């Protein structure tokens, strides 16, 4: 199966800057990370995104890929993120400097975490203070993250002398080439643990459920996320922890509909109220408000209630509520009411009054008027 174009994988243009590439990669890596993603085939997608990023974020590898496509990428040995190949991969590493590895003992930032939080319509409008419980890796309390049995410590690998890499020489048509590979004695870590900690089995980390306080700002909306710095996975070798990203999902309301900071509601009124006019109470998330219905109001007429919508999540004022009236055809009439309407209909030469069932009016009254 042929590989997809790396630019297509990241969804970027061919003239995208390195900053653009990094931003897109961070977003997609969080989306498809196997530890948090519920997407189908998340692990495969994560590997595909990582592979594309490793190529396009490196100027030399990107130039080689732009010129030769995947063939150029594979010849450099970076197509799968594995730099332990031989042959042309090692030769290109020699000439283009593509074989460098990060110091295995250098501090590294921990992975970010993603948590999906479900809110009611009202909770999203007014915000809330809450607490979530997250299963995540924490530093082992027994060995304090070293991975070694208490009373012992990891030893520097005698084969790579702590570098995490081994150099081998190879004769090629271009001359003698020095290849760098991960040290297989210490798995590229630069240290060897002879007596592993019994609590964490030498990993230096254990799974725990950690409670994190989350402040939901008023006015937050569907799909928005909150970043909580330092609440992700712990760092490696003393590096800083990752971040926690709380993604918001908002439940639909039976009557209200939100667009940005504005809230929309359909208000049922009777035929008599529409014809003669009236003053009615309209429900809002902030409480009931009285509005005047002019005589002769038609279905679809919209009224604006300034400042009765959602607060702007960034603090830029308050939205409005838009009330769209709907004239409900009466369905249960007394004999006298029917006679009056028939008489009215004859004077206006109107079509017969429909008696189709419409439950909107009753449901609305029950929800907001306590009937």
Q: Which of 11-20, 53-62, 336-345 has the lowest mean pLDDT?
A: 336-345
pLDDT of residue 370: 52
Do the strands 302-305 and 287-293 form a parallel or antiparallel pair, or are they unpaired?
A: unpaired
CATH of 257-369, one of 2.40.50.1040, 2.60.260.20, 3.60.20.10, 1.10.3680.10: 2.60.260.20
Average pLDDT over residues 33-58: 84
pLDDT of residue 348: 61
Answer whether residue 15 shows pLDDT above 50. Answer: yes
Average pLDDT over residues 257-286: 93
Query: Which top CATH class is 102-154+193-252?
Result: mainly beta
- Opening angle at CA 312, ends 28 and 287, nearest 5: 130
Q: Kindly report the average pLDDT of the chain as a whole number.
A: 82
DSSP string, 203-252: SSEEEEEEEEEEEE-TT--TT-EEEETT-SSPPBTTPPP--EEEEEEEPP
CATH 2.60.260.20 domain residues, the chain: 102-154+193-252, 257-369
pLDDT of residue 360: 62
Residue 356 pLDDT class (50, 70, 90 cuts) = very low
pLDDT of residue 160: 87
Q: Which of 71-75, 79-83, 347-351 has the highest mean pLDDT?
A: 347-351
Token pair 């299963």 is at which residue? 135
Average pLDDT over residues 292-297: 95
Helix (H) or strand (E) holding 52: helix 42-56
| pLDDT tens column, 149-207 | 999 999 999 888 888 888 877 776 656 777 778 888 888 888 898 899 999 988 888 88
């Amino acid at each position: 199966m042929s590989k997809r174009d790396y630019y297509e994988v990241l969804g970027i243009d061919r003239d995208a800057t390195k900053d653009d590439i990094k931003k897109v990669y961070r977003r997609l890596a969080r989306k498809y990370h196997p530890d948090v993603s519920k997407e189908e085939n998340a692990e495969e997608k994560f590997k595909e995104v990582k592979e594309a990023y490793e190529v396009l974020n490196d100027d030399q590898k990107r130039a080689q890929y732009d010129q030769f496509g995947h063939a150029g990428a594979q010849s450099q040995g970076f197509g799968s993120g594995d730099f332990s190949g031989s042959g042309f991969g090692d030769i290109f590493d020699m000439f283009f400097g593509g074989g460098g590895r990060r110091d295995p003992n250098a501090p590294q930032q921990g992975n970010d975490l993603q948590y999906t939080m479900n809110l009611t319509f009202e909770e999203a409008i007014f915000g809330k203070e809450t607490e979530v419980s997250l299963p995540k890796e924490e530093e082992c309390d027994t060995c304090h993250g070293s991975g070694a049995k208490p009373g012992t410590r990891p030893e520097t690998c005698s084969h790579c002398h702590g570098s995490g890499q081994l150099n081998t020489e190879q004769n090629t048509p271009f001359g003698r080439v020095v290849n760098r590979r991960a040290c297989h004695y210490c798995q590229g870590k630069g240290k060897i643990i002879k007596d592993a900690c019994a609590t964490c089995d030498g990993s230096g980390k254990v799974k725990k459920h950690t409670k994190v306080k989350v402040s939901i700002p008023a006015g937050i909306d569907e799909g928005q996320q909150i970043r909580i710095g330092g609440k992700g996975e712990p760092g490696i070798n003393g590096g800083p922890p990752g971040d926690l990203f709380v993604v918001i999902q908002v439940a639909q309301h039976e009557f209200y509909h939100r667009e940005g900071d504005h809230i929309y509601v359909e208000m049922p009124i009777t035929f008599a109220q529409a014809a003669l006019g009236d003053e009615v109470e309209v429900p809002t998330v902030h409480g009931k408000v009285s509005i005047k219905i002019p005589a002769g109001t038609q279905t679809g007429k919209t009224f604006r209630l300034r400042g009765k919508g959602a607060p702007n999540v960034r603090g830029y004022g308050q939205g409005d509520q838009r009330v769209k009236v709907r004239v409900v055809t009466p369905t249960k009439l007394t004999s006298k009411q029917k006679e009056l309407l028939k008489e009215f209909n004859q004077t206006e030469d109107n079509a017969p009054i429909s008696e189709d069932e419409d439950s909107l009016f009753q449901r609305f009254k029950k929800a907001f008027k306590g009937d």
